[in-house]
Chains A and B, each alone.
Chain A
Amino acid sequence: MQPFRTHVGVAAALLQANVDTDAIIPSREMRHVSRRGLAAGLFANWRYVDAAGREPQPDFILNRPRYAGASILLCGANFGCGSSREHAVWALAEFGIRVLVAPSFGLIFRKNCIANGVLAAELSAPRIAALAAWADADPQVNRVRVDLQRRAITGGGVAASFAIDDAARMRLIEGLDAIAFTLAHAERIDAFERERFARHPWVRLPRSG
């Protein structure tokens, strides 16, 4: 995973609350047994004129030329609620989104972001609105800057500190492979498990086959 330090990019605003993962990637867009090939399905219900086709809906923000190359999404509360599908994050990442800023996120979605190197930053709604207003004036020029080390987000008159828990921040900054990191302490898992099975033998199922 690519380590995340700072990022400067075009910011697009999608400020309605409770954007769920089915809106981010409708289930019919998850066609292959793969993490890839999902960007075209991102926000498909809003991005295309009809569900089956690919004719762009000209009003949708990510279709508007002035937001071309957007890599920061300014969002409403509870962004990414609903189904646990990690495809939502895979689609966003493949589309080129590196930073999501929202007053709050769906819990599983937020963890999925971190697992895929996408920064999910929490910021108050008024500050997000202020950033959106500034960026919207001229998105290609008024780029938003995010500094994960300092937890800082800046743009126009806004210089704010966003919230992200320490563990998520460290994992993003270091770009760690979570499994390898955990397996480095495999002996502690083994010891814990031995004790758990000894104390609660019913927990252990026989090996099948």
Chain B
Amino acid sequence: MGRIANRVPGGRQRPAGSDREAVLSSTLFDKLWDSHCIESDEHGEDLLYIDRLCLHERTGGIALNALLEAGRPVRRAEHAFCMMDHILDTRPGRTDRTLVPGGEQFIARSRSGAAALGVRVFDVNDPQQGISHAVSAEQGIALPGLSIVCPDSHTCTLGALGALAFGIGTSETEHVLATSTLRMARPPNMRVTVQGALPEYVTAKDLALYLIAEHGAAGGSGAAVEFDGEAIAALDIEGRMTLCNMAVEFAAATAVIAPDQAVLDYVAGRPFAPFPLPSAEWQALKSDPNARFDRNLDIDARQVSHRVTWGTSPEQGVELQGRVPEPKDRNERQALAYADLAPGTPMTDISIDAAFIGSCTNARLGDLRAAAKVLEGRRVAPGVAAVCAPASTPIKRAAEAEGLDAVFRAAGFEWRESGCSMCFYAGGETFGPGRRVISTTNRNFEGRQGPGTRTHLASPAVVAASALRGRISAPEPR
């Protein structure tokens, strides 16, 4: 599917406050965009002011050192942060050493580049360390109404707080460091309204996988997607982050949810959050009643059940009670060959070798609690390798304070330090070639979790239940 065509340059300009009717028909996304737009150029791109930048060691070292080499200062170093998450080791007692050869260079160069340019680092053994998108939310670096970018495609997670959040490339990162701005064409607006209530035990992850399976991995068509509706309002902030996180797997430019009281409660008291909160300003961040969207999708939350993927794209998924489908085309045949699955196989007949609970998608405290509830008093099936890596060190500590680590350990899970870990092979962590993994992460691409590793995406409770049975399984209510 092609992208929705960008609008005529200048056609979207709304002089703030001067045209009441126009102002009353703005989308939330357009309000956020307009409040950051410095100017528009004749080619249809806008120069956006960027309030916060998060780096990580994977590309931070390259970007920071490029600036140093060019002799350019960071324009607002106090608004930039460098996390350590992608490559670093997550095994207990970690140092800068990584499983992937040379990984420590990425860590060292990011650290030294950040120090030379005055950028705050959340270093390897910092008590606030964690996956960038988790740390920026936890620390109050991402806030409603702010623009925030990071050289990582899952930055859209932060739209859950009502922030204007984009994943960017390394050259763009250098541009933001040097200028506090980013040049972008305004994406079109799409609204995904989720009415009704999700069934019990069905989570934001299931909703995301359902949306992507129903409307395709290209379904977002480069639009900024606003999620709204009863089911969204009912999600807690962590669930909203899970949903927004997966928006990039829907080919959305970003995702956003209007900040409500739950967001204000979440943000209050965070280290980089203001006091008092500009509550009235933030609660005005919502789409006007007659705002026009380029596309609208309606989802009935009651239709969503536990989901799991069978292929190598997040769109290749079914209900947990479903079967591996007949391949429709060459892509699906290739996916089935990689997944080593036969059409018609019930998903719950598929045995697994490993289970992973981690990533910026699904490793926050609520996710760990949901998994622990399933695991409590039970053991993972013989032969199943099981790993849990919390999304941040503060989350890990909070889980330990509740005794969740003991539940995971007693069940036979490894309890890791925080980091991207098995989400992604960057740091060299993998369950191995040919191994079948059920995973709370966001991507099931070929090789994503290591060469030849096969990935099935699911929610934390489904991953935990599958680990116990040794095959893909629904959590049993208890």
A interface residues (Cβ-Cβ under 8 A, vs B): 16-18, 20, 22-23, 26-28, 30-35, 45, 51, 77-78, 81-86, 89, 103-104, 106-108, 111-112, 115-116, 122, 165-167, 169-170, 178-179, 182-183, 185-186, 188-189, 192-193, 196, 200, 202-203, 205-209
Contact = CB atoms under 8 A, between A and B. Distances in A.
Contacts of B120: 208
Contacts of A166: 9, 42-44
Interface stretch (B175-183, B298-306, B460-468): B175-183
B174 interface: yes
Contact of A205 (B61, B78, B102, B153): B78
Contacts of A77: 1, 218
Nearest to B150: A84
A4 B181 CA distance: 25
A189 B313 contact: no
Nearest to A111: B169
Most central of B1, B180, B272, B447 by chain A CB within 10 Å:
B447
B151 interface: yes
B102 A78 contact: no
Given A51-B452, A77-B218, A103-B2, A18 B278 contact: no
B447 A33 contact: no
A79 to B, nearest CB: 11
Interface string B36-67: 00110111110101010000001101100100
Contact of A45 (B145, B181, B451): B451
Contacts of A169: 43
A86 B424 contact: no
A82 B153 contact: yes
Contacts of B171: 86, 112, 115-116, 178
17 contacts: A17-B331, A20-B445, A27-B424, A30-B58, A32-B102, A32-B105, A35-B62, A51-B433, A84-B167, A86-B170, A86-B171, A115-B169, A165-B44, A179-B70, A182-B178, A186-B179, A208-B78
A189 B78 contact: no
Nearest to A183: B179
Given A16-B331, A78-B217, A82-B443, A22 B185 contact: no
Contacts of B278: 200, 202
B281 A200 contact: yes
A83 B278 CA distance: 34
Interface string B412-432: 000000000000111010000
Given A179-B174, A182-B183, A22 B451 contact: no
Nearest to B101: A31
Given A31-B102, A111-B169, A115-B172, A182 B47 contact: yes
A182 B175 contact: yes
A26 B447 contact: yes
B341 interface: no
B428 to A, nearest CB: 7
Contacts of A82: 153, 443, 445
Contacts of B452: 51
B72 A84 contact: no
